[in-house]
């Protein structure tokens, strides 16, 4: 599903569809490893990290190129990493703390013009998933 975008001329708010939600340490460690097909229809994978800190990701055993969006606890885009290459073992991170990380197909950030300060609505309230 194509993301819905609300623009108030100051920031943009994105409403994404989450194909995967990883919240347990073993889930966030594995993430999209071993998945060989791109995420369908601009869907996303949400990583709910245990603490707000500088998060670091690698592409070990990851077959698809990805963009990574690093978010504050309020869903504010703190920064991003574009076009992480499959199987690359280098750390992919930004130099600001984040609580959540979203992985999407490579090119997503450019396609939807996501910028620092934009907001991505999360299916979370009081640190718990809501649906």
Q: What mean pLDDT is reported for the chain?
A: 91
Q: Which two tokens stand for residue 123?
A: 């299916």
Q: What percent of the chain has pLDDT over 70?
A: 87
Up-side HSE of residue 28: CA atoms within 13 Å toward CB? 16
Our measurement of the distance from residue 46's CA atom to the centroid of its chain's CA atoms, rounded to an integer in Å, reads 6
pTM more than 0.85: yes
* Domains in the chain with CATH codes: 4-129 (2.60.120.1140)
Q: What is the mean pLDDT of residues 69-78?
A: 96
Euclidean distance between CA atoms 88 and 65, whole angstroms: 10
């Amino acid at each position: 599903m194509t993301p819905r975008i609300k623009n108030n001329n100051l920031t943009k708010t994105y409403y994404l569809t989450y194909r995967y939600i990883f919240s347990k340490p073993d889930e966030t460690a594995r993430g999209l490893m071993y998945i060989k097909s791109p995420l369908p229809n601009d869907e996303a994978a949400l990583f709910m990290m245990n603490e707000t800190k500088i998060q670091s990701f690698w592409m070990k055993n990851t077959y698809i190129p990805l963009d990574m969006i690093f978010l504050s606890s309020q869903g504010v885009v703190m920064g991003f990493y574009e076009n992480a290459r499959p199987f690359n073992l280098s750390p992919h991170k930004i130099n600001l703390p984040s609580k959540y990380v979203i992985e999407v197909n490579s090119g997503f950030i450019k396609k939807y013009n996501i910028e620092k300060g934009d907001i991505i609505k999360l299916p979370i309230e009081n640190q718990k998933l809501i649906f």
